[in-house]
Structure 1
Amino acid sequence: MSLEAIRYAPGRLEVLDQLLLPRQSVYIPVRDTDDGWRVINTMQVRGAPAIAIVGCLSLAVELSRAKFASVDELLAHVRGRLQHLVTSRPTAVNLQTAARALAAAAERAAEATTDVDQLRDSVVTEAEQMLSADVADNRAIGEHGADHLLRTAAGPLALLTHCNTGSLATAGYGTALGVIRSVHSRGRLARAFCTETRPYMQGSRLTAYELVHEQIPATLVCDSAVAALMRDGRVHAVVVGADRVAANGDTANKIGTYQLAVVAAHHSVPFYVAAPSTSIDLGLASGAEIPIEERPAAELLCVAGHRLAADGIAAWNPAFDVTPSNLITGGIITEKGVLPAADVGRVADL
């Protein structure tokens, strides 16, 4: 059974506090959009698809308890709250995409009714459907990715992933980790390698936790061990997630992804990005336009609240980096199919 990062029932939302994993499994109630903003910003919930779902569902929960005098008042509230949620983390585009879609759905529903309760129910239903749609999209990503990877594979594959892209980062199943799960389900996975993913350790804390839970054969490696691993021929392909993909295929993902792509290219190891089409931002020409979030210095200087770095040292702690499309040699895996990175603008044609 997959881990649940998000637990939702009408009027009730809880998220698994990922800051406490793997030692504790504690679910936090999210009662409104202020709670939603906080759990996203503090990374108690993380992963671009999960961020989008939690943001929209936090609004659904808030609406279930709020009272509005008119359709216009409700519509203004929806617009304002969605704009606020988008500021929680700037790099991942999924929340922005979901917020635009939910706002547009609210606008359309408002044109068709003057009944406040009917409009509220319409917005809530739209947010709830995003939850089930994300799971379906992730399963499709996994199947397309497995099909593509196994098409020419002579034997079982050893796959490397970075950061966390499984059930904990999505509504369920996962994106890059979903591809690994799909390969494993077909009996064709030799081993999954996951990086620690410094400095926030999403790989050792979260991905390793998921792989053990799913009983997938897996090995944890230091970020700095990847070059040696590839040199020894122990990795057949790299599959990572994405927080935003520009129109030219440049991809923003967790810090450290870019150097993995460089090393993979040097060793002729195919490099894939797995992400839903909602991560593709055709409004940005290239990765140079993607805003990169910088996290607090303490996340780099300290481990589990204990300072390791020397007092007085400065810290630069970007949460993401951008991998140029020419280094994404395997392609971009979406729920619609697999595309060469440079052709990602054609995703709608699929």
Structure 2
Amino acid sequence: MKTIYLDNAATTSMLPEVIDLVSDLMKTTYGNPSSTHHIGRKSKSLVETARKNIAKHFKAAPNEIVFTAGGSEADNLILKNAVENLGVKTIISSKIEHHAVLHTIEFIEKNYNVEVKWLDIDENGVINFNQLEGFLKLDSSKKLVSLMYVNNEIGNILNIQKVSDLCIENNAYFHSDAVQAVGHFNFDVQQTPIDFFAASAHKFHGPKGVGFAYIKNGIGIQPLLLGGEQERGARAGTENVHSILGMEEALKIAYQNINIETVKIQALKNYFIAQLKQNLDEVKFNGFSEDITKSSYIILNVRFPKDYSMMLFSLDLKGIAVSGGSACQSGSNKGSHVLNTILNEDEAKKTSIRFSFSKFNTKEELDTVIKVLKELKI
């Protein structure tokens, strides 16, 4: 049975070039970057070159990149520092953020003297910008806005420029979980000033367990992990040299080919939308995932006309890997917190599936998925 992988928003397969690079480095580059001998200095040099090359993609300075174990750690590092070290007293966010942000904000609200303001979200998953502006102007407390660049479940793209402008006008910090955007969209921190963002290598065909936090120059930061002085004191622990260099390579390849791959993957998504409408009755699309200008070309969140409790299982038996929400929620009986926020109770009870694409998918695979869905009598 052939496997059809359509869960690329959860994770991506590693590129062969990245696997080869990491494998070779494991054999030849084993020095601790903190060691002063030549073997350690070699590792240190490679890590710092990777930092410099990654920063260039975003017009950032190398010292604004802090390597982490992934997006969740980067989000935690940023949010906790905002309240512990930067004097933030008000956090403004939404209920459809990734749990790495939501649960961290909930922890902060419970354990710190910080007020949290939740923005209203409409039925398409769009924040209320007038309300955001009102919250920013409400009082003189130091504020942080935390809104994700691309929603990992419904694919909505935030108007990041508008949020950035509002934060600058009101002297507030702006953090974005950009895990679903880095490697898939171009953005420039000089053109669109942002104070913090988080990234994770496994979302753009790099290794798992490695990512980075972007932290704007001039913003002091203290480590979550205590120990050594690695990452200029921002994160203790020996750097994951092989994975960092694998991430550098994956990101380089992603941005070298971004225009071609965007067109290819968007065409696959458009084709799948057309085939769903043509072959299945009453399918709908959650958020703006059907809209090519307002959603990620990678993510399509499809709502079927009723509850099919075994759909994910049935698709898996046919070799089709998809998700009912974010992969982080697998096994949850509460459903998607994103869909529960934007849909009414009756619509939220219907089965929704997130299909997420990569350059390795084909039309033939999508035809097979449509055939299987028809056989399931949806």
If the TM-score is normalised by the length of the shorter chain, which range does it land in?
A: 0.3 to 0.5
Q: Which has the higher strand share?
A: 1
Which structure has the greater CA radius of gyration?
Answer: 2
* Higher RCO structure, 1 or 2 (CA under 8 Å, sep 6+): 2
TM-score (norm 2): 0.32
